[in-house]
Structure 1
Amino acid sequence: MTTPRAQARTRTMAEILRIGRDHLATEGAAALSLRAVARDLGVVSSAIYRYVASRDELLTLLVVDAYDELGDAVDAAVAAADGPVEQFRALGRAVREWALREPARYALLFGSPVPGYQAPAERTTEPGTRVIVRLVGILADAYAVGALQSTDSVPVPDSLSADFSRIRTSFDIDLPDAVIARSVLVWTGLFGTVNFDVFGQYGADTFTDESALFEHQLSVLAETAGFVTASQQPR
């Protein structure tokens, strides 16, 4: 059974994360300060170190927290979708919706690196790869049932074969090099389009309906991935 002391610590950590998220939104990751967090928490600056060892530790907690929330949003959206193409679209929409809702946290994950901070791989790799693991799973499942084309008119360089072999082993998938190559393009294309939305890279007056543009981009990315319609699948 959880002790009252442990419960109090859990509540305090949750409050520290909440304050840290607020500071990300108002001050940015580079200006994150444990002293400022302690002030808003209502404790002396030295007391905060009983919970968080350093600014980098707080950044890591915020990174993991953001990755997990994004991953949860994507998992829920994919679970509610029917069929590989709709699952792919649901994943893309969930990423964009979360990013637009949480621009500061999205920037922490996918924006400019925070000066002097190096995310510890042993703590951030698993949560940080949840979305790409889900995306690869959708593509692999689609390929297994004939809902993803394997042909490609652009030859894959032989120099990439070893890299793609490692990817197959790492993700435990059975996809040919051509499909993996296109999957990488789809992955980077998805986050590139989201980045342009979140960081205002299109400019204020370029597109009147960025949501419609994103839906079109999702369709192009689905085509790039090689998804086929039900009528095109082998019987």
Structure 2
Amino acid sequence: MDLSGTSATDEPTGRAEVVKGAARRLLGTVGAGGLSLEAVAGESGLALAEVEAVFPGRDDLLTALVVDAYNGSAAVMEQADHEAREAGAPAGARLLAVTRALREWSLGHAAEFALIYGSPVPGYHAPPETVLPASRTPAVLGGIVRAALEGGELAPPRRAVPGPPLLLPAAVELFGGVPGAPFSDIIERGIVLWSSLVGLLVFQVFSRTHDSVRDEAVFFDYAVAVAAEAVGLEVRLGEKND
């Protein structure tokens, strides 16, 4: 019992959570493009002025939802990787564990997945505060690839990136520097792995593979293993430590 005489919605933090919860429910019905503070106020049971007190504009609310989605999805990956490392799993098993965790989150939070990986929201431009949360997912993947490189678990690439390096400084910094030959293009390959993972999840979350494969979960594991070959990492399927 709350003896203070106030409810969770009386505090700014509590009210913000109520507003975001209502907004997430609406994401599944009207989509991010149809989100408005008026609709959120109606869904939450709060007055419009109460909603505006914590999120003055629609974009402020969208930014909070984007940050939460990136952080929430990355957190389950980080936890899965921690557990895999604690169990002494090799890099391939770690990769499978974190991608499975992201798949489970994505299927269970389809509207939030669409918010961060679907079509851009008309008129919305993500501000700088979304960059760090968004970087957590590639950071998990990059950490696994880096561990595989340092542990001698990567096979040398069969194809080199033509011409000069294709990377921006931020990508190099996130990975911790460019390795020497024959792995000098491993960051580019890691980006291929990352983009392949997101594309695979888009297909599964939006039901693009359900009429093509018998078992989407098994196909997901297979596809991750195939994508991992691009970085020279072996993902062994069907083993107990997976």
State TM-score, norm by structure 2.
0.85
How far residue 228 of structure 1 moved from its aligned partner, in angstroms, is 4.9
Cα distance per residue 1:106-165 (max 9 Å; x no partner): 0000000000000102x100001101011001101110111112x222221123x16266
Structure 1 residues 4-13 or 51-60, which shifts more?
4-13
Secondary structure at the aligned position of 1:168 is classed as helix
Would you say the 8 A contact 2:178–2:187 is kept in 1? no
Structure 1 residues 46-55 or 171-180, which shifts more?
171-180
Distance 1:142 1:153 in 2: 17
**2:17 alignment partner in structure 1:** 14
**2:71 alignment partner in structure 1:** 68
Distance 1:167 1:11, change over 3 A: closer
Distance 1:70 1:166 in 2: 21
Cα distance per residue 1:56-101 (max 9 Å; x no partner): 0000000011111101111111111122111111111111111111
Distance 1:147 1:187 in 2: 19
**1:96 alignment partner in structure 2:** 103
1:140 matched to 2:143: no
**2:123 alignment partner in structure 1:** 116
How far residue 209 of structure 1 moved from its aligned partner, in angstroms, is 1.0
**Which of 40, 43, 48 is residue 51 of structure 2 equivalent to?**
48
**1:171 alignment partner in structure 2:** 175
Structure 2 runs not aligned, ≥5 long: 237-242
Distance 1:65 1:229 in 2: 30
Cα distance per residue 1:200-230 (max 9 Å; x no partner): 223x532221111111112212222212589
Cα distance per residue 1:30-56 (max 9 Å; x no partner): 000101111233233233211111000
1:185 matched to 2:195: no
Distance 2:206 2:166 in 1: 35
**1:233 alignment partner in structure 2:** none
Secondary structure at the aligned position of 1:80 is classed as helix
Would you say the 8 A contact 1:140–1:173 is kept in 2? no
**1:216 alignment partner in structure 2:** 222
Computed over aligned residues only, the root mean square deviation of the Cα atoms, in angstroms, reads 2.3
Sequence identity (%): 33
Distance 1:108 1:162 in 2: 28
Would you say the 8 A contact 1:88–1:138 is kept in 2? yes
Structure 1 runs not aligned, ≥5 long: 231-235
Distance 1:118 1:152 in 2: 37
Cα distance per residue 1:7-42 (max 9 Å; x no partner): 722111111111111111121100001011112332
How far residue 192 of structure 1 moved from its aligned partner, in angstroms, is 1.1
Q: What amino acid sits opposite 2:99 in the alignment? A: G
State TM-score, norm by structure 1.
0.87
Structure 1 residues 79-88 or 178-187, which shifts more?
178-187
Would you say the 8 A contact 2:139–2:174 is kept in 1? no
The structure richer in helix per residue is: 1
Alignment coverage as a number of residue pairs = 224
